[in-house]
Amino acid sequence: MLFSRSKFLMAAVATVAVALSAPVVAQPAAPAAPAVKERVPTWVFGKRPFMESPRISPDGSKIAVQLARDGKEFLGIIDLNNPGGKPEFIVANNEYRDEGDRTVAGWRWIGNDNVVFTLASRERVFGQRIDVTRLVAYNLKTKKKTPLAWDGATGAADEIGWIDHDTGKFVLERMSNAYGTERWTLPEAVLVDVNTGKFSVLMQPNPVISDWIIDSKGVVRAGTGSDADSGKERLVYRSDGKSAMRTVSNEADKTFTGTQILPQVFLDEPDMAMAFSNKDGFRKLYKVNMKTLELGAPVFERTGYDVEGGVHYNWERSKIIGVRVIEEGVRDHWFDNDWKVIQQVMEDQFGKGNVRIEARDKKDERLIFHVGKPSQPGSYFLFDTRNGKLASIGWTHPLLKEMTLNPMSTVTYTASDGVKIPTVVTMPRHRIGQKNLPVIVMPHGGPFGVRDHEEFGFFPWHQAMAELGYVVLQPNYRGSGGYGKEFVLKGRAKDGYGMRMQDDLNDALTWFGAQGTIDPKRACIMGWSYGGYATARGAQRDPNVWRCAIAGAGVYDFPMMKRFDQRVFGDFGANFQATVDNLNEISSARNTDGKWAPIMIVAGVRDARIPIEQSRTLVSRLKASGKKQGVDFEYIEQPQGTHNLPYEDVHIEWLEAAEKWATRFNPPYIDSDKDKPVPLAARFQRSGANASGK
State pLDDT tens for residues 41-59: 999 999 988 898 999 999 9
Buried b (16+ CB within 10 A) or exposed e, 470-486: bbbbbbbbbbbbbbbbe
- pLDDT value at 424 more than 60: yes
Proportion of the chain above pLDDT 70, given as a percent: 90
What is the predicted pLDDT for the residue at 8? 39
Q: 567 and 637 in one domain?
A: yes
User: Looking at residues 29-45, what average pLDDT do you find?
Assistant: 73
The angle that helices 530-541 and 501-514 make with each other, rounded to 10 degrees, is 70
Q: 281 and 363 in one domain?
A: yes
What is the predicted pLDDT for the residue at 564? 80
Asked whether residue 215 is assigned to any structural domain, the reply reads yes
Asked whether residue 688 is assigned to any structural domain, the reply reads no
Last residue of a domain, one of 395, 424, 443: 395
User: Looking at residues 229-254, what average pLDDT do you find?
Assistant: 94
In whole angstroms, give the CA distance from residue 662 to residue 671.
Answer: 17
Strands (E), 98-228: 102-110, 114-125, 128-139, 145-148, 159-164, 169-175, 187-193, 199-203, 211-214, 220-226
Q: What is the torsional sign of CA 70, 75, 80, 86? A: negative
Last residue of a domain, one of 365, 395, 425: 395
Strands (E), 445-592: 471-475, 518-528, 548-552
Q: Is 303 helix (H, G, I), strand (E, B) or coil?
A: coil
- pLDDT value at 438 more than 50: yes
Q: Provide the pLDDT confidence category of residue 73 given band limits of 50, 70 and 90.
A: confident
Q: 419 and 390 in one domain?
A: no
pLDDT in tens, 186-199: 999 999 999 999 99
Q: Provide the pLDDT confidence category of residue 687 given band limits of 50, 70 and 90.
A: low
CATH assignment at residue 543: 3.40.50.1820
What is the predicted pLDDT for the residue at 192? 98
- pLDDT value at 210 more than 70: yes
What is the predicted pLDDT for the residue at 1? 38
Asked whether residue 491 is assigned to any structural domain, the reply reads yes
pLDDT in tens, 614-646: 999 999 999 999 999 999 999 999 998 888 887
pLDDT in tens, 450-476: 999 999 998 999 999 999 999 999 999
| Cβ proximity of 251 and 241 under 8 Å | no
Domain that holds residue 256: 6-395
Q: 416 and 297 in one domain?
A: no
Q: 425 and 342 in one domain?
A: no
> What CA–CA distances, in Å, run from 319 to 153, 232, 469?
32, 30, 48
| Cβ proximity of 79 and 62 under 8 Å | yes
Q: Is 414 helix (H, G, I), strand (E, B) or coil?
A: strand
| Bond from prior residue into 428 cis (ω within 30 degrees of 0) | no
In whole angstroms, give the CA distance from residue 83 to residue 89.
Answer: 16
- pLDDT value at 685 more than 90: no
- pLDDT value at 29 more than 80: no
Q: 472 and 561 in one domain?
A: yes
CB-CB neighbours of 247 under 10 Å: 11
> What CA–CA distances, in Å, run from 217 to 161, 164, 316, 389, 476?
10, 9, 8, 34, 41
pLDDT in tens, 553-563: 999 999 998 88
Strands 20-21 and 51-56: unpaired
Highest average pLDDT, of 18-22, 146-150, 681-685, comes from 146-150
Q: 476 and 362 in one domain?
A: no
Last residue of a domain, one of 368, 395, 422: 395
- pLDDT value at 691 more than 90: no
Range of weakest confidence among 345-349, 522-526, 572-576: 572-576
**More confident site: 283 or 19:** 283
- pLDDT value at 383 more than 50: yes
Q: 175 and 40 in one domain?
A: yes
Q: If we measure between CA atoms, which residue out of 357, 416, 363, 353 comes closest to residue 385? A: 363
Asked whether residue 400 is assigned to any structural domain, the reply reads no
Backbone phi, psi, residue 382, to 5°: -105, 125
- pLDDT value at 15 more than 50: no
Q: Provide the pLDDT confidence category of residue 17 given band limits of 50, 70 and 90.
A: very low
The model carries a pTM of 0.92
pLDDT in tens, 328-365: 999 999 999 999 999 998 999 999 999 999 999 999 99
Asked whether residue 690 is assigned to any structural domain, the reply reads no
What is the predicted pLDDT for the residue at 249? 96
Q: 430 and 304 in one domain?
A: no
Asked whether residue 401 is assigned to any structural domain, the reply reads no
Asked whether residue 117 is assigned to any structural domain, the reply reads yes
- For the chain, the average pLDDT equals 90
What is the predicted pLDDT for the residue at 23? 52
Asked whether residue 693 is assigned to any structural domain, the reply reads no
In whole angstroms, give the CA distance from residue 216 to residue 266.
Answer: 7
User: Looking at residues 532-552, what average pLDDT do you find?
Assistant: 98
User: Looking at residues 416-444, what average pLDDT do you find?
Assistant: 97
**Based on the structure, what is the number of domains in the chain?**
2
Q: 385 and 534 in one domain?
A: no
In whole angstroms, give the CA distance from residue 219 to residue 198.
Answer: 19
The helix (H) or strand (E) run that includes residue 623 is helix 613-624
Range of weakest confidence among 65-79, 405-419, 438-452, 582-596: 65-79
Q: If we measure between CA atoms, which residue out of 514, 526, 548, 524 comes closest to residue 435? A: 514
Proportion of the chain above pLDDT 90, given as a percent: 75
- pLDDT value at 284 more than 80: yes
Collect all residues with Cβ–Cβ distance below 8 Å to 293 and sequence separation of at least 6: 235, 248, 249, 261
CATH assignment at residue 306: 2.130.10.120
Q: 432 and 347 in one domain?
A: no
Q: 486 and 545 in one domain?
A: yes
| Phi and psi based region of residue 332 (left: phi greater than 0; alpha: psi -120 to 50; beta: remaining) | beta
Q: Provide the pLDDT confidence category of residue 83 given band limits of 50, 70 and 90.
A: confident
What is the predicted pLDDT for the residue at 35? 63
What is the predicted pLDDT for the residue at 127? 62
- pLDDT value at 14 more than 70: no
Cα 673–Cα 677–Cα 682 angle in degrees, nearest 5:
165
